[in-house]
Amino acid sequence: MPGSPAASWAMYRARLKAVFDGADPRVLAAFWLFGLINNVLYVIILSSALDLVGPNVPKGVVLLADVIPSFVTKLCAPYFIHKIPYNIRVVIFVALSVVGMLVVALTPGTQDPRTISIKLCGVMLASLSSGGGELSFLGLTHYYGHFALAAWGSGTGGAGLIGAGAYAIATTTLKIDARTSLLAFSFLPVIMLMSFFLILPLEPLRKSSAKHAEYEAIESDEPDQRNDALNDDSRREEHEGLLSSSMLSESGRSFGNVGTKQKVGNALNNFTANLRRSKALFFPYMLPLLLVYIAEYTINQGVAPTLLFPLSESPFDEYRSFYSTYGAIYQVGVFISRSSTPFIRVHHLYFPSFLQVVNLILLTLHAMFDFIPSFYIVCIIIFWEGLLGGLVYVSTFAEITDNVPREDREFSLGATSVSDSGGICAAGFISMAFEVWLCSWQVSHGRDYCKQQ
């Protein structure tokens, strides 16, 4: 019967099948695991911040150690990392992650400055791996299409839920000490190694290497012949993509002549060409992604710890539960939106970025003037914050996949990833001062909940 639950479910299944028609399950599984494992250690480290540095050291220190090396890697690596084959990169990233986590886990649990410094060095090693992994796997989606990008985004969203949940279950429910838990988690990157060499079909990469050799041969021909060959191949590859750009892209944005493949005489010229590419990426893609990350991580690290209500008006017995609850709700929103690429796309990236800034202003004003009447309304806003952040992340890279010329796409996907780490770095510094200021404001106005956590 039309309109019945059975008919609605059948229509939904048909639509879902149509969306994923042609997707290779191995590609989906491999990129989902890439996104999960590459980001899950970042989440676990933040979840264990209190155990790593103790109550007397600002937790923002752990955030900065966890993100600054990643930011520097994303800022510099796109200009030379293309010279390193993907299989070697994956081995390097896995080694860095494992060594970094082992340093964190095996360092004695005392809270003296020297011990904390050693742990933070381990965090920084893992951060280098995470940053290099993100720009590399985003670049790798160029060879596997929109389904790979969608699976990567969903995996990164799942990392928040799984990472925070796994650490909480291990240390709270199962009563495993933090050191043993971190030691067990340090071997998770091996899954990334297995995903690349055992699950991911490598034929697209091999074909790309063969085409690269063909292009090198064409370089010696006449310019018109070379351009015709490249354009014909580009049109053919775009037409045969997993999801046609015409199905998803409405922005009509292009790079003009910035992405024209050109023969580079030396490394300096190559670097200059990549800088021009980066400038072309900044306003359409990098800036909205940067804005949304500054806003949401300032909320998460600087404002959320002060979004407190009397315990009698909440479901909690202690004030420290507010922050962990907000974090879990945020991660649910991120996971949902980062998994939404096959169904929902945002083409005008600035709009949700500005909405995230509105969230920051609204929650900051509430922290100051206490006008939102219910804890549950704040939870809805936090969930909305997670949805916006995840949506801008996946939509940014989907727009690049649709609109940037094929010969520039791999570089552009990796280079744009610097914006999220840059936004987190900026938010880390802002939030360290912001939290102190908001807490002091609340105490001076008769609300000392933030001092009771």
Do 163 and 60 lie in a common domain?
Answer: yes
Do 185 and 298 lie in a common domain?
Answer: no
Do 280 and 195 lie in a common domain?
Answer: no
Tokens of 376: 């549950």
Is residue 240 one of the residues assigned to a domain?
no
Do 156 and 297 lie in a common domain?
Answer: no
Q: In CATH, what number is assigned to the domain containing residue 133?
A: 1.20.1250.20
Is residue 262 one of the residues assigned to a domain?
no
- Pick from 184, 201, 218: which residue ends a domain? 201
Question: 53: closest CA among 107, 99, 127?
Answer: 107
State mean pLDDT over 334-344.
Answer: 88
Domain residues for the domain of 166 are: 20-201
Residues 6+ apart with CB under 8 A from 190: 94, 98
State mean pLDDT over 160-169.
Answer: 87
pLDDT of 373 > 70? The answer is yes
Do 195 and 339 lie in a common domain?
Answer: no
Q: Quickly list DSSP for 330-355.
A: HHHHHHHHHT-TTT---S-THHHHHH
Q: In CATH, what number is assigned to the domain containing residue 297?
A: 1.20.1250
- Which of 60-74, 80-94, 169-183, 197-211: highest mean pLDDT? 80-94
State mean pLDDT over 213-227.
Answer: 47
Is residue 243 one of the residues assigned to a domain?
no
- Pick from 152, 184, 201: which residue ends a domain? 201
pLDDT of 189 > 60? The answer is yes
- Pick from 156, 184, 201: which residue ends a domain? 201
Q: Could you tell me what percentage of the chain is helix, strand and coil, using 3-state DSSP and rounding each to the nearest 5?
A: 80, 0, 20
In which residue are the tokens 């990833």 written? 417
Do 181 and 285 lie in a common domain?
Answer: no
Between residues 50 and 217, which one has the greater pLDDT? 50
Between residues 130 and 168, which one has the greater pLDDT? 130
- Our measurement of the distance from residue 265's CA atom to the centroid of its chain's CA atoms, rounded to an integer in Å, reads 35
pLDDT tens column, 399-424? 999 999 988 898 899 999 999 999 99
Do 303 and 409 lie in a common domain?
Answer: yes
Measured CA angle at 374 (ends 312, 305), to 5 deg: 80
State mean pLDDT over 340-355.
Answer: 90
Is residue 259 one of the residues assigned to a domain?
no
In which residue are the tokens 């389904």 written? 147
CA end-to-end span of the chain, whole Å?
Answer: 56
Q: Which of 46-55, 85-94, 321-330, 374-383 has the lowest mean pLDDT?
A: 46-55
pLDDT of 345 > 60? The answer is yes
pLDDT of 137 > 70? The answer is yes
Do 277 and 193 lie in a common domain?
Answer: no
Mean pLDDT computed over every residue of the chain:
83
pLDDT of 35 > 70? The answer is yes
Between residues 221 and 134, which one has the greater pLDDT? 134
The number of domains in the chain is: 2
- Which of 105-119, 193-207, 314-328, 344-358: highest mean pLDDT? 344-358
Is residue 332 one of the residues assigned to a domain?
yes
Is residue 62 one of the residues assigned to a domain?
yes
State mean pLDDT over 309-333.
Answer: 87
Do 293 and 373 lie in a common domain?
Answer: yes
Is residue 438 one of the residues assigned to a domain?
yes
Query: Helices marked H in 48-112 — which ranges?
Result: 49-53, 60-76, 86-106
Residues 451, 165, 49, 39: what is their CA dihedral angle, to the nearest 10 degrees?
A: -130
Is residue 222 one of the residues assigned to a domain?
no
State mean pLDDT over 199-221.
Answer: 64
- Say if CB 391 and CB 344 are below 8 A apart: yes
